[in-house]
């Protein structure tokens, strides 16, 4: 039954996502030599927000913002298979390929931009502007890497790309992997590319006007989306996963790398992050693309 | 608070050692509270509210200087689930940190009214209790509770981060027991607070507070 399959995927992403975010805060705390919150802290936060009232309204479009964003996250998750050769936990992936996923990843932020726009909050508008500016830059190296993978495998099917790796793609095509990894750090909203929700600059940016249940919804979608992106990256570059344990280990290693990277570097300004993403990772990814396609002939 | 907190803890070498962890356990056991009179749903909701507190640290006076150490590595309030909030919409607790002039009071009231229910007020220092050293000042308020409902006072001039943490633990205990309900008090006795606010702010008082905003223009 596909319904149970989808529900299983959603619940896994929800709980593992929150667990990872709890670990993120805990590990960052250890980096800073303090005890830090419990692993379930992010989960507590989200439940607390669901138990609060809203304090404001800017009309129905304002409320649709988080809903569209959550829809985007959940749909992205459904089109990414968890395992490369398994009947279960593959969701809707047989109905849509990598192109659909790349489109859906961008759907949420664009929908949220409309919802946030009607709130009229200058900080929210600044956050959205920063997000969209960064998005154009971070898509570039990631898309180049993904296009290269698709042309190498002669397929846009995620499960096929995941299953086709005798040596995992990260080692077989290191330049593509490095280029995509920079984009991935930006996609996860991590330092040094965390310009969108910077709390001391734009007061949490797009989330500035949201309170109560809608903030809880935004937190939930962000943990689901993070897990979806981690699974996508594992499928594309780390050889996919045959079972749950392999999936958790691989996603966690990737996540740990992103955390560690973010703990070391400070935040770029928006133009700096765009400059960097358009120059360095893009150049690396283009070099990887040329090497992979020319070397194959 | 415990003796070890001041004497032994928090030298660079002893971070994350046994003393520190013992202290953490002590503080968490302080959180145990009498919740027998609540229904199970209320109990659960209050438990989550207790464990997750987003703080809007409003630096009105000298007390603001005690807040950065409370929230950063040295005293690490995040281990009790207490962390800073970026905007009033996301906050649960507003800290009024010290004396407030009339000019600041206006902003505090506007900020407090933007927060979403349930919300709590934590007042730092003697100045918020009885005026403190500003007892005869011409432009500061003397008792904060005449203008806003206060859930918890932290005494001192200024209270150290240890006291602030203890104030938070006391507040968390009240939240868990369902006793921290100042936002209801504000809505029920709004005329009283409004009268006091108008008396000091005159024509510059904030627009009237609608707890039932969703029934009016701009609502659903």
Query: What does each of the 297 residues of chain A score in pLDDT, given as a tens digit?
Result: 888 989 999 999 999 999 999 999 999 998 888 888 999 999 999 999 998 888 777 888 888 889 999 999 999 999 999 998 888 888 888 888 899 999 998 888 888 888 888 888 888 888 888 988 898 899 999 999 999 999 999 989 898 898 888 888 889 899 999 999 999 999 998 888 988 888 788 888 888 888 888 999 999 999 999 999 999 999 999 988 888 999 999 999 999 999 999 888 888 989 999 999 999 999 999 999 999 888 754
Exposed (0-12), middle (13-18) or buried (19+): which is B181, by Cβ within 10 Å? middle
Nearest CB to B86; choose among A25, A55, A199: A199
Q: Which fold has domain B54-202?
A: Rossmann fold (3.40.50)
pTM: 0.87
Min Cα distance B73 → chain A (Å) is 6
pLDDT in tens, B141-197: 999 999 999 999 999 888 999 999 999 999 999 998 888 888 888 888 888 998 999
CB < 8 Å to A203, chain B:
86-87
Q: ∠ CA A217-A205-A143 to the nearest 5 degrees?
A: 80
Nearest to A34 among B76, B88, B218 (CB): B76
ipTM rounded to 2 decimals: 0.87
Angle (CA) A229 A234 A235, round 5°: 95
Q: In DSSP terms, which residues pair with B120 in a beta bridge?
A: B93
The answer to whether A212 contacts B116, with C-beta atoms less than 8 Å apart, is yes
Find residues 275-294 of chain A whose CB sits inside 8 Å of chain B.
none
**For A278-290, what is each residue's pLDDT tens digit?**
999 999 999 999 9
CA of B80: which chain A residue's CA is closest? A37
Provide the angle, in degrees to the nearest 10, between the axes of the packed helices A98-117 and A60-78.
170
The partner residues of B82 in beta bridges, in order of sequence, read B53
Q: For residue A210, which residues of chain B lie inside 8 Å, CB to CB?
A: 89-90
* CB proximity A48 to B under 8 Å: yes
Whole-number Å distance between alpha carbons of A249 and A244:
9
Contact A242/B at CB under 8 A? no
Q: What is the largest CA-CA distance in chain A?
A: 62
Domain extents for chain A?
2-296
């Amino acid at each position: 039954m596909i319904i149970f399959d989808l529900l299983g995927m959603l619940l896994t992403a929800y709980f593992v996502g929150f667990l990872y975010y709890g670990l993120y805060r805990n590990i960052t705390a250890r980096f800073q030599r303090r005890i830090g919150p419990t692993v379930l802290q992010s989960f507590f936060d989200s439940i607390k927000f669901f138990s609060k009232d809203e304090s404001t309204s800017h009309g129905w479009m304002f409320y649709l913002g988080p809903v569209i964003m959550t829809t985007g996250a959940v749909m992205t998750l459904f089109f990414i298979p968890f395992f490369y050769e398994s009947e279960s936990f593959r969701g809707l992936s047989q109905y849509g390929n990598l192109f659909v996923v790349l489109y859906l990843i961008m759907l949420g932020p664009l929908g949220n931009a409309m919802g946030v726009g009607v709130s009229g909050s200058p900080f929210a508008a600044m956050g959205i502007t920063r997000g969209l500016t960064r998005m154009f830059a971070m898509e570039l190296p990631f898309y180049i890497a993904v296009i290269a993978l698709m042309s190498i495998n002669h397929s846009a099917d995620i499960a096929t790309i995941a299953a086709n790796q005798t040596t995992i793609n990260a080692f077989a095509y290191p330049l593509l992997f490095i280029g995509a990894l920079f984009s991935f750090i930006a996609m996860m909203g991590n330092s040094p590319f965390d310009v969108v929700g910077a709390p001391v600059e734009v007061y949490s940016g797009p989330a500035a006007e949201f309170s109560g249940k809608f903030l809880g919804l935004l937190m939930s979608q962000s943990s689901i989306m993070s897990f979806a992106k981690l699974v996508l990256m594992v499928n594309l570059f780390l050889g996919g996963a045959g079972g749950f344990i392999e999936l958790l280990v691989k996603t966690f290693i990737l996540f740990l790398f992103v955390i560690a990277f973010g703990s070391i570097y400070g935040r770029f300004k928006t133009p700096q992050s765009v400059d960097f993403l358009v120059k360095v990772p893009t150049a690396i990814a283009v070099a990887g693309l040329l090497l992979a396609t020319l070397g194959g002939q | 608070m415990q003796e070890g907190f001041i004497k032994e803890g928090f030298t660079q070498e002893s971070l994350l050692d046994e003393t520190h962890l013992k202290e953490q356990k002590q503080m968490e056991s302080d959180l145990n509270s009498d919740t027998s009179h609540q229904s199970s749903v209320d109990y659960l909701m209050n438990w989550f509210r207790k464990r997750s507190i987003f703080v809007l640290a409003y630096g009105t006076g000298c007390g603001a200087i005690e807040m950065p150490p409370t929230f950063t590595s040295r005293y690490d309030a995040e281990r009790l689930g207490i962390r800073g909030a970026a905007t009033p919409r996301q906050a649960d607790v507003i800290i009024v940190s010290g004396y407030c002039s009339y000019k600041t009071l206006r902003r505090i009231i506007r900020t407090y009214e933007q927060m979403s229910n349930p919300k709590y007020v934590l007042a730092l220092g003697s100045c918020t209790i009885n005026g403190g050293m500003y007892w005869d000042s011409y432009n500061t308020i003397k008792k904060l509770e005449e203008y806003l409902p206060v859930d918890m006072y932290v005494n001192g001039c200024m209270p150290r981060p240890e006291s602030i943490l203890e104030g938070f633990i006391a507040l968390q205990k009240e939240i868990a027991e369902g006793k921290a309900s100042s936002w209801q008090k504000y809505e029920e006795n709004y005329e009283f607070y409004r009268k006091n606010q108008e008396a000091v702010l005159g024509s510059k008082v904030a627009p009237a507070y609608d707890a039932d905003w969703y029934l009016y223009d701009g609502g659903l």
